[in-house]
Structure 1
Amino acid sequence: MVSQVTPGLDALRAGEASELERELRGRKCALLFNPTGAAIDGTSALDVCRERGIELAALFSPEHGPRADQEGDIESSTVGQLPIHSLYGATRRPTAVMLDGLETIVCDLQDVGARFYTYSSTIFHILEEAAPRGIRVVVLDRPNPLGGQVVEGPIIDEELRSFIGYAPLPVTHGLTMGEVARFFVRWRGWDESLLSVVPVQNWKREQLWPQTGLQWRQPSPNLPDFRSTAWYPGLALLEFSGVSVGRGTEAPFQILAAPWLDFEAMREALEATLKGTSFSFQRVDVTPTRATFEGEACVGVRFDCSEGEPTHPVEFGLRVMAALRRAHPDFSPELWQKAGQLLGSKRILDSLWNGELNEALEITRADGERFKREREGVLLYD
Structure 2
Amino acid sequence: MRIGLDVFLSKEFNHFKGKRVGLVTNMTGVNERLVPAIDLFSKHPDINLVALYGPEHGIRGDAKEGEKVDSSIDPYTGVPVFSLYGASKKPSKEMLDTTDVIVFDLQDIGSRYYTFIYTMAYVMEACAEYDKQFVVLDRPNPISGVAVEGNLVEEDVRSFVGLYPIPNRHGMTVGELAQFFNNEFNINCDLTVVSMEGWKRDMYYDDTNLFWVPPSPNTTGIDMSILYPGTCLVEGTNLSEGRGTTKPFEYVGAPYIDGYHLAKAFNEKGIPGVIARPTSFIPTYSKHKDKVCEGVQLHVVNRHSLHSLKAGLTLLEEIAALYPNDFEFLQHTNGKYFFDLLAGTKRLRDIVLEGKTEEFLGDCNNQQEKFNKQKESYLLYK
CA drift of 1:264 comes to 5.5
Comparing 229-238 with 142-151, which one deviates more in the overlay? Answer: 229-238
- 1:84 maps to which residue? 81
Retained in 2: the 8 A contact 1:107–1:139? Answer: yes
Distance 1:88 1:172 in 2: 23
Structure 1: which amino acid aligns with 2:130? Answer: R
- 1:8 maps to which residue? 4
- 2:277 maps to which residue? 282
What percentage of aligned pairs have identical amino acids?
A: 34
Retained in 2: the 8 A contact 1:245–1:254? Answer: yes
Structure 1: which amino acid aligns with 2:355? Answer: G
Of 305, 309, 316 in structure 2, the residue corresponding to residue 314 of structure 1 is 309
Q: Secondary structure at the match of 2:278?
A: strand
- 1:371 maps to which residue? 371
Retained in 1: the 8 A contact 2:271–2:311? Answer: no
- Unaligned stretches of 5+ in structure 2? 332-336
Q: Deviations over 1:82-120 (max 9, x none)?
A: 110111112111112111132110010000011110000
TM-score (norm 1): 0.92
Tell me if 1:206 matches 2:198.
no
Retained in 1: the 8 A contact 2:90–2:119? Answer: yes
Of 179, 183, 188 in structure 2, the residue corresponding to residue 186 of structure 1 is 183
Tell me if 1:61 matches 2:58.
no
Distance 2:207 2:328 in 1: 42
- 2:338 maps to which residue? 338
Q: How many residues align?
A: 372
CA drift of 1:75 comes to 1.2
Of 15, 39, 49 in structure 2, the residue corresponding to residue 47 of structure 1 is 39
Question: How do 1:244-259 and structure 2 match up within 5 A?
Answer: 244-259=240-255
- Unaligned stretches of 5+ in structure 1? none
Of 236, 243, 249 in structure 2, the residue corresponding to residue 240 of structure 1 is 236
Retained in 2: the 8 A contact 1:227–1:309? Answer: no
Distance 2:263 2:214 in 1: 32
Structure 2: which amino acid aligns with 1:53? Answer: D
Tell me if 1:143 matches 2:135.
no
Retained in 1: the 8 A contact 2:26–2:58? Answer: yes
Structure 2: which amino acid aligns with 1:58? Answer: A
- 1:175 maps to which residue? 172
Retained in 2: the 8 A contact 1:205–1:381? Answer: yes
CA drift of 1:48 comes to 2.1
Distance 1:338 1:58 in 2: 34
Distance 2:137 2:242 in 1: 32
Distance 1:277 1:311 in 2: 6
Comparing 372-381 with 304-313, which one deviates more in the overlay? Answer: 304-313
CA separation of 1:374/1:331 partners in 2, compared to 1, >3 Å: closer, same or farther? farther
CA separation of 1:47/1:349 partners in 2, compared to 1, >3 Å: closer, same or farther? same
Retained in 2: the 8 A contact 1:262–1:327? Answer: no
